[in-house]
A and B are shown apart, each in its own frame.
Chain A
Amino acid sequence: MNNFDYQMFLNGTSDVLSDMFLQGMNSNSNNNNNNNSNNDNNGMSLFNNNHNKPNNNTNNNLNNNLYGPYEGFMKGNMFKNLYEPFRNYRPIQITPRNAQEEALLNLDQTAFAMHEINLYLDNFPDDQNMINQFNEFRKIYDEMLNSYQSKYGPISINNPYMTESPFAWTKDSWPWDRRNF
């Protein structure tokens, strides 16, 4: 695994990366060509959330059948051999509007990658490469979850940031009310 790229991914909520994100937002039309050379032609050029890209193109060292977490999440499918597009529809791009949405998108992606490998391993429990891949994502997820919950509020009831009154679990808006992430 490429530690540098994972660090980029982990730091998705940092101020530095937020600045990169804002720059990306302001120059969408110019930065699509730089990051898509390794992707297939299934519409990835539409995705301008480019600071997730370095990770996407490099974390498949263990298994060439896996998309990166961002591309896999957009498609709803981490496994290249199973992906079936519908007619000429392309996955809809998700554009975070602020650092919190960005952090939640990163968390969603990583949880999805873990879940996809989980389903695969249910059927193929002896695949050590995929077990290693699962654990790489799990480590990232744990750090992302901790970072998100320390800054923005609870995702899980089991977290160390709910010590003050009022109880934080009930304070934050519920997912169906957010009209965002």
Chain B
Amino acid sequence: MWKYEKRLQYPINIKKKDLQMAKYLVEQYGGANGEMAAALRYLNQRYTMPDERGKALLTDIGTEELAHIEMICTMIYQLTKDATIEELKAVGMGGHYAGHDSSLYPTDANGVPFTVAYFAATGDPIADLYEDMAAEQKARAVYENLITMTDDPDVIGPLLWLRQREVVHFNRFKELCDYYKSIGIK
């Protein structure tokens, strides 16, 4: 089970409205390499990890990804707060408004809805861990794209931080994968 803590994993305090950046950021909410895909990928794969280390690591990283979903959503929410219909239409978010008003919705940056087809589960721990390592690298690359698309330090700070988490998670998955190979798990 899970328990909620009434705080963000890292503080977010965005003072400047920026609908265009919000539209790009949603890529890491419901996009192919986003935080929702990450959380569901690890929390779904953990059941068939071959030992306690793998079950622990995928549970704990999957849980952290839930907190990253909350961070990305908080950023989108703060960047779009109090936007008018005209402002939304001006950045191509008229379609979003028609379907969702000001609520959040997990899509990629082009409005394509989230799908679990973004992740895999093979039952093979080595194959799954290589997918997890690749997912962390792809998410790191997307964060780097996003960081270069803004000059607002209130946005860059959390994005740099989330990018660094991808680096750490990649290394932890790699350690586990190398360990499994060293003890002969296929």
Contacts and interface: CB of A to CB of B under 8 A. Distances in A.
Contacts of A125: 52-53
A75 B14 CA distance: 19
B186 interface: no
A150 to B, nearest CB: 15
Contact of B11 (A105, A153, A156): A105
Interface string B12-32: 111100000000000000000
Interface stretch (B95-103, B114-122, B166-174): B166-174
Interface string B55-73: 0110011001000001001
B6 A174 contact: yes
Interface string A142-177: 000000000001111110000000000100101110
Nearest to A121: B56
Interface in A63-101: 73, 75-77, 79, 82-84, 86, 89, 91-92, 94, 101
B129 to A, nearest CB: 12
Interface size class of A (residues with CB under 8 A): 35 or more
Interface residues of B, number: 44
A175 B167 contact: no
Contacts of A157: 3-4
B147 A181 contact: no
Contacts of A94: 11, 157
Contacts of A16: none
B179 interface: yes
Given A76-B162, A91-B161, A157-B3, A176 B10 contact: no
A89 B4 CA distance: 32
Nearest to A173: B6
B160 A92 contact: yes
Contact of A180 (B4, B13, B164, B175): B13
Given A89-B147, A176-B74, A179-B78, A115 B64 contact: yes
Interface string B144-186: 1001000001001100111111011101100110010000000
Contacts of B10: 73, 76, 108, 112
Contacts of B6: 153-156, 169, 172, 174-175
B181 to A, nearest CB: 14
A176 B73 contact: yes
Given A108-B9, A155-B7, A76 B164 contact: yes
Contacts of B11: 94, 101, 104-105, 108, 180-181
A179 B73 CA distance: 13
A10 interface: no
A77 B172 contact: no
B7 A179 contact: no
Given A76-B164, A120-B172, A175-B74, 11 more contacts: A77-B165, A77-B167, A82-B167, A89-B147, A94-B157, A119-B169, A155-B5, A156-B3, A176-B12, A176-B70, A181-B11
Interface of A: 73, 75-77, 79, 82-84, 86, 89, 91-92, 94, 101, 104-105, 107-108, 111-112, 115-116, 118-120, 122-123, 125, 153-158, 169, 172, 174-176, 178-181
